Amino acid sequence: MNEVSSAPFWLAGNFAPVSEEGSHQELKVSGEIPKDLNGLYVRNGANPPFGKSLDWFLGCGMLHGLDIRDGKPHWYRNRYVQTPLLEQEMPEPKTRSVLANSIANTHVIGHAGKILALAELNMPIEVNDQLETVGPYDFGGKLNGNMTAHPKHCPVTGELLFFGYAMRPPYLTYYRVSADGELIQQEEIAVKGPTMMHDFCITQSKTVFMDLPVIFDMEERAKGGLGIRHDDDYGARFGVMPRDGGSNDVKWFEIEPCYVYHTLNAYDDGDEVVLEGCRMVGYMAKGMVKPPIPVPYQWRMNLKTGAVTERQIDDLGIDFPKVPDALVGQQHRYGYFAEFGKMAPTVEGFHKYDMRSGARQSHMLKNGCSGSEASFVPAARAASEDDGYLMSYIYDPNDDASHLAILNAANLSDDPIAKIHLPVRVPAGFHGSWIEY
Ligand SMILES: [Fe+2]
C-alpha cells in the first residue's frame, strides 16, 4: 500500500477500500480462542466500489464476518451489501432518497433470526448468515420510512426499539418491534426541526430522544452544499418517554448545547434517568476546521423535579462506546470506548471506564497497528459484568493484513487472548455486532 498519499483520510491507509470480495478458511490463530465463543462477528463499513467517495460516510457498505465455533475460526468473508447504489461512481443524495436505495454501510444487527445492514437515511437491507444480500426489509410491509443505524435491543423483553429521522416532516418516527420480529408500534414524535439524530437510548421503562442543534439545512442542500450545520438558536434537549408512549407523553429536558453521535447507554435510577455518551461541543458550527473531540459524559434527568445535572467523566477523546448487550437499558458500571488519533479517526487503542469513578484501563495498539469499533462478548458463565472479551479487527501495516483481536475485558491492558489472522486487510469501518449461534 502507498504510505504517502494526498488522498483524503477516508481513501488512504487502512481507510482505503479493498477491491475484492473473498472467502477464507483455515485461518491461522495465535493464542487460544475461548471455547465458549460460538457466533458470527460481523462489522460494516464504507467501501466505495470505484475507489472514491465524497466523504467517509458515503461509501457503499461492505460486511466483514468471522464465523467462530468451539474455539476455532470457521471462515472469514467480506461481501458488499447489494444495492443499486453499487453501480454508481458517487451515489447522489437524490438517488439515495429512494427508501430501498440504502448505502447500507453503518451498522449490522441481528434480530428475530434476521440480519439487517443499516444506514440511517434508508430502510434496512437483509443479509443471510453467509453475508449474501436478501434485499430490502420492511417488517412485513409495516415500515415505510427510514430506520436508524442504532436500534436498541432490550435484553429483558427481547424487543427491538428504534426510530427513523427525516429531513422533511415528519422529522421523527418511533417504532417498537416485538421479540419475534413484528412491528407493533409506530408513533410520530414532535421535534423542533430536521435534527440529525444519529442515536438514541432506552432504559427498562423509557425511551430517550436527542433533539440537538445539528440540523439539516434544505436551502443549503439545494445549492449543492453539505446541508448540515450547527444552529445556535435551536437549543438542545433530551426527550424522555414511556417506551410504549407517544409524542404527548414526552417530557423534555433542556441541556447545555452539544452534539452526541453515540450514546453509551441509559438506565432508570429512582426518579432519574441516567444517560451516558460521547459529547461534542461546536460540532458543525460556523468556521469548524475539524470536528471537536467527543468526551465521555453523563446526564441525569429527574422526572419529578425536571432538573438535569451534567458531568464530564474524562477529557480523553473517545468514541464507539459499548456496554454488554445484556445491559442495554440496564444499570452498567463499565463502558468500553475506542480512542481516535489526532489527524484522523484512526482507532489507536481501547479504554474501559469505570463510569462511577472515572478510572480507566487501556489497551493501546503498538507498531503502527490500528483498530475498529470493539464489541463486548460475555463469557459463557460470566461471574461479573466485565467477565468477557472485546473483539475488534486490527490492521497491521507491517504485513498489510488484519486480524481479529480477542481481548480480556476484565484486564484490558493484557496482551490479546487470541488473534485470528486474515490473509487480507479489513478497512477501518463503523459498527458491528456479535451474533451468537
Ligand atoms: Fe454510529
- Quick: pLDDT tens for 349-406: 999 999 988 899 999 999 999 999 999 999 999 999 999 999 999 999 999 999 999 9
- 30 CA to centre of ligand 1 in angstroms: 31
- 148 CA to centre of ligand 1 in angstroms: 9
Give yes or no for residue 170 having a pLDDT over 80: yes
Secondary structure (3-state) at 66: strand
pTM over 0.85: yes
The secondary structure of 253-274 as a DSSP string is EE--S-EEEEEEEEEEETTEEE
Secondary structure (3-state) at 13: helix
Q: Which three cell numbers stand for residue 46?
A: 464504507
Query: How many beta carbons lie within 10 A of that of residue 290, not counting itself?
Result: 8
- 271 CA to centre of ligand 1 in angstroms: 29
- 77 CA to centre of ligand 1 in angstroms: 23
Q: Which residue has the higher pLDDT, 321 or 93?
A: 321
**127 CB contacts (<8 Å, ≥6 apart)?**
63, 79, 81, 108, 115, 116, 117, 133, 134
Give yes or no for residue 224 having a pLDDT over 80: no
Give yes or no for residue 1 having a pLDDT over 50: no
Give pLDDT, residue 93.
64
Prior bond to 170 cis, omega within 30? yes
Residue 333 carries which side chain, given as an amino acid letter?
A: R
Of 295, 321, 299, 323, residue with least CA distance to 310: 299
- 247 CA to centre of ligand 1 in angstroms: 25
Residues 164, 186 contacting (CB under 8 angstroms): no
Of 215, 218, 263, 217, residue with least CA distance to 238: 263
Of 146, 161, 141, 139, residue with least CA distance to 103: 146
- 28 CA to centre of ligand 1 in angstroms: 31
The angle subtended at Cα 391 by Cα 387 and Cα 396, nearest 5°, is: 140
Give yes or no for residue 97 having a pLDDT over 80: no
Residue with cell string 453467509? 130
- 320 CA to centre of ligand 1 in angstroms: 8
- 342 CA to centre of ligand 1 in angstroms: 19
- 150 CA to centre of ligand 1 in angstroms: 7
- 152 CA to centre of ligand 1 in angstroms: 12
Give yes or no for residue 228 having a pLDDT over 60: yes
What are the pLDDT digits (tens) for 131-162?
999 999 999 999 999 999 999 999 999 999 99
Q: How far apart are CA 363 and CA 353, in angstroms?
A: 12
Of 17, 26, 23, residue with least CA distance to 65: 23
Range with top average pLDDT, 49-58, 177-186, 337-346: 177-186
What are the pLDDT digits (tens) for 278-310?
999 999 999 898 889 999 999 999 999 999 999
Average confidence (pLDDT) over 327-356:
95
Q: How far apart are CA 36 and CA 268, in angstroms?
A: 31
* C-alpha to C-alpha distances, 105 to 48, 123, 206, 353, nearest whole angstrom: 10, 12, 28, 28
Of 293, 252, 299, 245, residue with least CA distance to 277: 299
Residues 51, 15 contacting (CB under 8 angstroms): no
Q: Which three cell numbers stand for residue 37?
A: 465463543
Q: How confident is the model at residue 5 (pLDDT cuts 50, 70, 90)?
A: low
Of 338, 213, 327, residue with least CA distance to 266: 327
Average pLDDT score, the chain:
95
Average confidence (pLDDT) over 14-41:
97
Of 365, 350, 339, 321, residue with least CA distance to 411: 350
Give yes or no for residue 334 having a pLDDT over 60: yes
- 121 CA to centre of ligand 1 in angstroms: 12
Percent of the chain with pLDDT over 70: 98
What are the pLDDT digits (tens) for 203-214?
999 999 999 999
Q: How far apart are CA 197 and CA 49, in angstroms?
A: 27
- 337 CA to centre of ligand 1 in angstroms: 13
Percent of the chain with pLDDT over 90: 87
